[in-house]
């Protein structure tokens, strides 16, 4: 699996795609594959303040549930409503299915996140696909 170079990654298997002062957040291909068929995403409301490294929701498959960790701090400006009725989109295209959009508090925070190459290496070490 090629991890897109324009995204930044976390060790909790989230990706973040910066776009000026805002960014969209999702889970990685590796994460969706380990979860299996995703059935539900519990997401924050617009206006919620996220703190980098803290949980902001959860994502469920039939027999597993994973917390979602914010890759960066900021305020939720948009929530992907399509996922409420069609969470399987994440399985089909994890890097194209954003969960929430953020207004970043400090874009510099992204500097400490993993690049695509680093993340790929990290996943390989974890014994991933």
Would you tell me which residues interact with other proteins (CB under 8 A)?
37, 39-40, 42, 60-65, 87-88
Q: Judged by CB, which is closer to other proteins: 26, or 87?
A: 87
**d(C-alpha 116, C-alpha 14), whole Å:** 12
Q: Judged by CB, which is closer to other proteins: 21, or 53?
A: 53
Q: Judged by CB, which is closer to other proteins: 65, or 124?
A: 65
Greatest Cα pair distance, the chain, in angstroms, is 38
Q: Judged by CB, which is closer to other proteins: 60, or 118?
A: 60
**d(C-alpha 44, C-alpha 2), whole Å:** 29
Q: How far is the CB of 5 from other proteins (least distance, A)?
A: 32
C-alpha separations of 127 from 10, 21, 123 in Å: 16, 35, 7
Q: How far is the CB of 65 from other proteins (least distance, A)?
A: 4
Q: How far is the CB of 124 from other proteins (least distance, A)?
A: 19
DSSP 129: -
Q: How far is the CB of 116 from other proteins (least distance, A)?
A: 29
The runs of H, that is alpha helices, within 36-95 are: 82-85, 88-92
């Amino acid at each position: 699996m090629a991890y897109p170079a324009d995204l930044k990654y976390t060790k909790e298997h989230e990706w973040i795609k910066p776009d000026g002062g805002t960014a969209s957040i999702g889970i990685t291909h590796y994460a969706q594959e380990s979860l299996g068929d995703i059935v539900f995403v519990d997401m924050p409301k617009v206006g919620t303040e996220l703190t980098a490294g803290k949980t902001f929701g959860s994502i469920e498959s039939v027999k597993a549930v994973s917390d979602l960790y914010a890759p960066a701090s900021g305020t939720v400006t948009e929530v992907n409503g399509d996922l409420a009725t069609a969470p399987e989109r994440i399985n089909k295209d994890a890097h194209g299915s954003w969960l929430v959009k953020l207004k970043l508090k400090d874009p510099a925070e992204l500097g400490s996140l993993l690049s695509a190459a680093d993340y790929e290496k990290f996943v390989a070490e974890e014994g991933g696909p």
